Amino acid sequence: MTPRRVIALTLALLVVSTLVLATGLLYLWPLFIFPLLLAAVCFFELGSLLVAAWVGGFFVAFFALHKGADPATTRQAIVGLAAFSLAGLLFGRLQREQHALRGLLATSSLTDRLTGLYNYGTFIDYLHNEVTKAERYGGPVTLIMFDLDHFKRFNDRYGHEAGNDLLRLVGSTLQAVMREADMAARYGGEEFALLIRGDAYDGYGLAERVRRAIETTAVGLRNGERAYVTASAGVATYVAGSADETLLIEQADAALYESKRRGRNLVTVHAASELPERLDVTLSA
């Protein structure tokens, strides 16, 4: 995208400069407003300064070729160039702020405001795309579902603000433990999801790391005490040929429920997920 913008800006400057030099008409200099706006939109203040420098050099070349320009015209050109540069800087600044605002709005629509993780809608879209890629090109995709154990009891005992602090810490823990290529989301309430490119063995290993990290994560309370929670997890790997990602979610949920049933603070791998013989884990039905 950037090379195209550079080429477009360069062509705009060359066309306007050639037109003014060829005709010898100085009053055509306002045509430089077009490349100035283009530079501000594409490169913000830096682009505006570069165009202003170009225009300054252009005026030097213009007066060198047209010696009949009188001092009054020269002063007008200098004043016009100063105003031109200032307008470009202001417009470039405005474009930068608008760009930052659009980025903030886009981010807020994709992420969960409390935890900083992706939200449910973004996760579902990403999951669909990854399953489609796996179906088309091959390669395993594994879903890990986490649920905080006795979260309602935690809220009732320590208060909802402490519960929110806990959710923020879990979000930070997931971001710290997962790999760069993994995708973490707040699935809903106290439930989280991790989607990875890898098999059930990879998913089990990552789920165990997350489970242990949550187990040792302390929430600081107002009275100076520290509270701890545990998490249960379910792991399922997408099987090529399944109808869609719905089955993958159902299998991960079933494995998660099995972890809850067996006493919580466990990781369970769904039985339909292929596992190496060396991996000794609990399988759900």
pLDDT in the model for residue 106? 54
Q: Which CATH class is domain 120-284?
A: alpha beta
pLDDT at 276 over 90: no
Of 101-115, 134-148, 156-170, 181-195, the least confident:
101-115
Distance from the first to the final alpha carbon of the chain: 50
The DSSP result for 116-170, as a single string, is SSB-HHHHHHHHHHHHHHHHHH---EEEEEEEETTHHHHHHHH-HHHHHHHHHHH
Model pTM above 0.85: no
Pair 144, 233: CB distance under 8 Å = yes
Q: Strand, helix or coil at 253?
A: helix
Catalytic machinery residues: 190
Hey, where are the domains in the chain? 2-110, 120-284
pLDDT in the model for residue 103? 58
Residues 161-188: tens digit of each pLDDT: 999 999 999 999 998 888 888 899 999 8
pLDDT at 198 over 70: yes
